[in-house]
Amino acid sequence: MTEIDTQDNGEIQEGTDYDVVVVGAGFSGLYMLHRLRDELGLSVKVVEKADDVGGTWYWNRYPGARCDSESHIYCYSFNDEILEEWEWSERYPEQPEVLEYLQFVADELDLRKDIDFETEVTSAAFDEEAGTWTVSTDDGDAVTSQYFVTAVGCLSEPYVPDFEALDDFEGEMYHTGKWPHDPVDFDDKRVAVIGTGATGIQVIPEVAKEDVERLTVFQRTPNYAVPARHRPLTDEEWESIQANYDEILEKAHNSGFGMPFETGYETAADLTMEEVEEALEPRWQEGGFRFLLAFEDLLINEETNEKVSEYLRNKIRETVDDPDLAEKLAPEDHYYGTKRPPLHTDYYKTYNEDHVSLVDVTEDPIERFTPEGIQTADDHYEFDMIILATGFDAMTGTLLQMDIRGRDGLTLDEKWNDGPQTYLGLALYGFPNMFTITGPQSPSVLSNMPVAIEHHVEWVSDTIEYLVDNDVKLIEATRAAERAWTTHNREVAEQTLYTTADSWYMNENIPDKPTVFTPYPGGIDLYHNTILEVAEKGYEGFELTEAVTDLGREGDKPQLSVMEGD
Ligand code: FAD
Ligand code: NAP
C-alpha cells in the first residue's frame, strides 16, 4: 500500500482508514469484498500477497493441479449472471480454469480496484482505546479499520519439512504450493517427488508422463485414492446442469459435505464383502466424491470403514503389477477418509512404468539432502530436480504467521498454544471485531469449500450489517461460548474415526503442533443452521457493546446483550 486511500463514508466510525480490512483475495476474500462493498456500501480494503486474485489457484500450478470438486459445484452460487455466463469445460477443472474463473468474477464485479496486491499483512493489532484494528504490511504501511476479516485460506502456508542439509542440494527444488509461473523443463531429468497426499497423487502421474529420465517417489504413508473419471463436459451435460442449477446448488448448500450427491446405504457393517463390492462398484465406476458417500456411517463405524478400506486396497493390488510394491501402496495404518481422500487419474498405474520407482521412507528413512540428491539410510539417490509435495501448515499456519494481537496485546500464538479455540470457527474471545472466514473449528476443509465460504461470508456481512444498523461498536465472542464450542468440536470429533489418523486435520503433519482435530466435523448443513440460529437469537454467545466514540476512556460500556458468563 503506497498510499492510504482514506474513505469517510461515515458508515461505521469516522477516523478509521477503512470500515473493513480483509486479508486474502481467493474465493473467500473476493466474495467478502463484494458483499461488504457492493451490498452494504462499506469502505473495504483487501490485502493480498500474490500479484493477482485466485488464492489456492494462483499458487498451486504444479503439473496435474486440478480440482477434486466437480466444476459445476466448485463455484459461487450468489450471482445468477455469473452462473449463466461462465461455462465449465471439464468435469473437474484444471488449475488454470479455476484461476480464470476467479479472474472473471473479479472483473465482472470490478473487485481489483480495492485489492492491494503484492502486499503481505505482517501484523494486525486491536487498539482497545479506539476500538479499531491496525493492520500493518510488509511495505511498512499501516491502515486502521473497524473490522478485521481474515480470508487467508486453510491450505495456504506451504510446509517444507526440516530435512537435514536441505539447502545443500544443488539441483532444482520446488514446493508444489509455490510452483513457478514459468514452465518447468523436465526433459531427461532425474526427478524426485516427496509426498503422496492429494498433491503428490496428482503430480506424480503427470511428471511420469514427461520426458524424464526417471522418477523416484519418496512415500511415508500410502493413501487411498479413488478414480476421478475425469472427462470434458458435454453440451448436453452442461445444458442439464444449467436447467437444474438452482436445485443442484440448493441441495449442495443443504448437504453435509457441500455436495449435492445422494448417500447410498446406511451401513456396511452387516453386509458380506461381496455385497459391499456390489454396492461400491457403481460408485467406483462413476468416480469422484460420490464414492465417499456410499455408506452413511463410513466415518463413524470401524466395521463399515474396514470393508470399504479393504475394497480399496484390493483395487490397488489389482492395478499394480509388482505385488510387493502394491502392498507398499496399500494403506493399513488409517481408515479410508480419515485423511483427506484424494481422487486420482492413473496414479497406481504409473508405478507399472519402468522409469518410476518408490522409496518407502518408513523402511529406508531420508537422512539428509546432499548437493547431488538425497541420502537415505540405505542408499544415495542422485537427482536433477526435487519436488516437495509435503503439504501445508494447515488450518492455523497462515493465521499464526500474521502476528495477530487482540485485547491486552494477547497474541494468537499464545491463545492457541494448546490448539485453536474459537467460537463457531468464526470469532475469538479477546479479539473483538475480528472474523475468520473458514477458520479452524468450522467445517471448511471437510466440505466442498465454496459452499462453506459462502455461508461464512454471508454470515459475516449480515452480522456487520446488523451491528451497523443497531449502532453496535464491538462484537466479541464470550469466553464461555468459545469454551463450549471448542469442547463441542472435540466431542463431535471423538465420535468419529477422524481422530484415529495422524493427519493434517489433527495437526499431526507439523512437528510440535498440538494434536487436536482442527475442522468442525458435524456437517455443513447442521453447522450452517447453528450459525444462523446464533444470529437469530441476537448473537447468542457474543457480547455486543454499544457504539461510543470515546471507547476505552469511559468506565463501564453499555452492554446490548451479554449472553453467557464472563
Ligand atoms: P485461499 O485460496 O487459500 O486464499 C487465501 C489468500 O490469502 C491467498 O491468496 C494468500 O496469498 C492470501 N494470504 C494469506 N496470508 C496473507 C497475508 N499475511 N497477507 C496477504 N495475503 C495473504 N477445496 C475444495 O472444496 N475442492 C477442491 O477440489 C479443492 N482442491 C484444492 C486443491 C489444492 C491444490 C489445494 C491446496 C486446495 C484445494 N481446495 C479444494 C481447498 C481450497 O483451498 C479452497 O477450495 C479455496 O480455494 C479456499 O479459498 P480461500 O479464499 O478461503 O483461501
Ligand atoms: P498432505 O496431504 O499433507 O501430504 C503431504 C505428503 O508429504 C504426505 O504424504 C506426507 O506423509 C508427506 N510428508 C510430509 N513430511 C514428510 C517428511 N518429513 N518425509 C517424508 N514425507 C513427508 O499435503 P497435500 O498433498 O499438498 O494436500 C493437502 C491438502 O490440500 C489436501 O488434503 C486437500 O485438502 C488439498 N488438495 C486438494 C487437491 C484437490 O482437491 N484436487 C489437490 C491437492 C491438495 P504423511 O502422510 O506420512 O504425513
Which atom belonging to ligand 2 lies closest to the Cα atom of 163? Answer: 18
Kindly state the DSSP code that residue 210 receives in the 8-state scheme.
Answer: S
C-alpha cell at 101: 474463473
Residue 1 lies in a domain: no
Contact predicate 76/82, CB 8 Å: yes
User: The domain containing residue 555 runs over which residues?
Assistant: 18-155+394-563
Residues 138, 120: contact at Cβ < 8 Å?
yes
Number of the ligand closest to the Cα of 25: 1
**Ligand 1 pocket member 155 (CB < 6 A):** yes
* Distances 228 to 232, 270, 313, 366 between C-alpha atoms, Å: 12, 28, 17, 31
Query: Closest-lying ligand to the alpha carbon of 201?
Result: 2
- 185 CB neighbour count, 10 Å cutoff: 12
Q: 383 with 400, same domain?
A: no
Same structural domain, 114 and 193: no
Question: Taking 50 as the threshold, does the pLDDT of residue 425 lie above it?
Answer: yes
Is 5 strand, coil or helix? coil
Cβ–Cβ contacts within 10 Å for residue 414, how many?
11
**Predicted structure pTM score:** 0.95
Q: Is residue 44 part of a domain?
A: yes
Place of cell 541420502: 375
Residue 509 CA, closest ligand 2 atom number: 48
Q: What grid cell was written down for 529?
A: 443452521
pLDDT in tens, 26-83: 999 999 999 999 999 999 999 999 999 999 999 999 999 999 999 999 999 999 999 9
121 alpha carbon, closest ligand: 1
Give DSSP secondary structure letters for 388-429: E---B--TTHHHHHT-EE-GGG-BHHHHTTTS---BTTTBBT
- Listed residues 388, 404, 427: the one ending a domain: 388
Q: 342 alpha carbon to ligand 2 midpoint, in Å?
A: 10
Q: pLDDT band at residue 15, thresholds of 50, 70 and 90?
A: confident
**Diameter over CA atoms, the chain:** 76
- Domain of residue 532, CATH code: 3.50.50.60
Residue 8 lies in a domain: no
Helix (H, G, I), strand (E, B) or coil at 36: helix
Which residue from 449, 454, 455, 460 has its CB within 8 A of the most atoms of ligand 1, so it is best to mutate? Answer: 449
The C-alpha atoms of residue 387 and residue 173 are separated, in whole angstroms, by: 6
Based on the domain organization, do 409 and 550 belong to the same domain? Answer: yes
Query: What pLDDT shows up at residue 13?
Result: 60
The answer, yes or no, to whether any atom of ligand 2 lies below 6 A from the CB of 146, is: no
How many helices (H) and strands (E) would you count in the chain?
16, 21
CB 28 within 8 A of CB 453: yes
Any idea what the Cα angle at residue 396 is, between residues 394 and 401, rounded to 5°? 105
Instruction: Work out the percent of the chain whose per-residue pLDDT is above 90.
Output: 93
End of a domain among 388, 412, 431? Answer: 388
- Say if residue 258 is in the same domain as residue 236: yes
Ligand 1 neighbour 102 (Cβ under 6 A): no
228 lines ligand 2 (CB under 6 A): no
* Judgement on whether residues 350 and 371 belong to the same structural domain of the protein: yes
pLDDT tens-digit series, residues 411-424: 999 999 999 999 99
Which distant-in-sequence residues (6+ apart) come within 8 Å of 183 by Cβ? Answer: none
Q: Report the number of distinct structural domains present in the chain.
A: 2
Q: Is residue 94 situated within a structural domain?
A: yes
Q: Is the CB of 464 under 6 A from ligand 1?
A: no
55 lines ligand 1 (CB under 6 A): yes
Same domain? For 271 and 361 the reply is: yes
Q: Which residues, including other chains, have CB under 8 Å from residue 532's CB and lie 6 or more apart?
A: 459
Other C-beta atoms closer than 10 Å to the C-beta of 217 total: 25
* HEC readout, 136-147: EECCCCEEEEEE
* Nearest ligand (C-alpha, residue 203): 2
Quote the cell numbers at residue 250: 440448493
Q: Kindly state whether residue 3 falls inside one of the protein's structural domains.
A: no
Average pLDDT taken over every residue of the chain:
94
Exposed, middle or buried by CB within 10 Å (0-12, 13-18, 19+), for 324?
exposed
| Of 22, 56, 112, best ligand 1 pocket probe by most atoms within 8 Å of the beta carbon | 56
Is there a domain that residue 238 lies in?
yes
514: CA distance to ligand 2 center in Å?
18
pLDDT at residue number 547: 56
Characterize the bridge pairing of strands 44-47 and 115-116: parallel
Return the ligand 2 atom nearest residue 162 CA: 18
Which atom from ligand 1 is nearest to the alpha carbon of 29?
51
User: Is the same domain home to 434 and 372?
Assistant: no
- Same domain? For 170 and 261 the reply is yes
pLDDT at position 344 is 98
Whether 377 and 438 share a structural domain: no
CA of 197 relative to ligand 2 center, distance in Å: 4
The grid coordinates of residue 321 equal 503389477
Q: What are the grid coordinates assigned to 150, written together? A: 481474515
Last residue of some domain: 324, 356, 388? 388
pLDDT in tens, 298-319: 999 999 999 999 999 999 999 9
Contact 362, 220 (CB under 8 A): yes
Q: Whose C-alpha lies nearest to ligand 2, atom 17?
A: 161
H or E stretch at 378: none
Ligand 1, pocket-test mutation among 1, 155, 451, 509, most atoms within 8 A of CB? 155
Nearest residue to 276 (alpha-carbon basis) of 228, 313, 326: 313
Residue 345: closest CA among 52, 34, 91: 91
pLDDT at 546: 83
The C-alpha atoms of residue 285 and residue 291 are separated, in whole angstroms, by 9
Give backbone dihedrals phi and psi of 385, rounded to 5 degrees, phi first: -145, 135
516 and 469 within one domain = yes
Instruction: Kindly state whether residues 379 and 420 are assigned to the same domain.
Output: no
Q: Is residue 13 part of a domain?
A: no
Q: Is residue 11 in a domain?
A: no
Dump pLDDT digits (tens) for 482-533: 999 999 999 999 999 999 999 999 999 999 999 999 999 999 999 999 999 9
- Average pLDDT of span 161-165: 98
Indicate if 434 and 298 belong to the same structural domain: no
Measured distance CA(282)–CA(290) in Å, rounded: 10
Residue 206 has pLDDT above 80, yes or no: yes
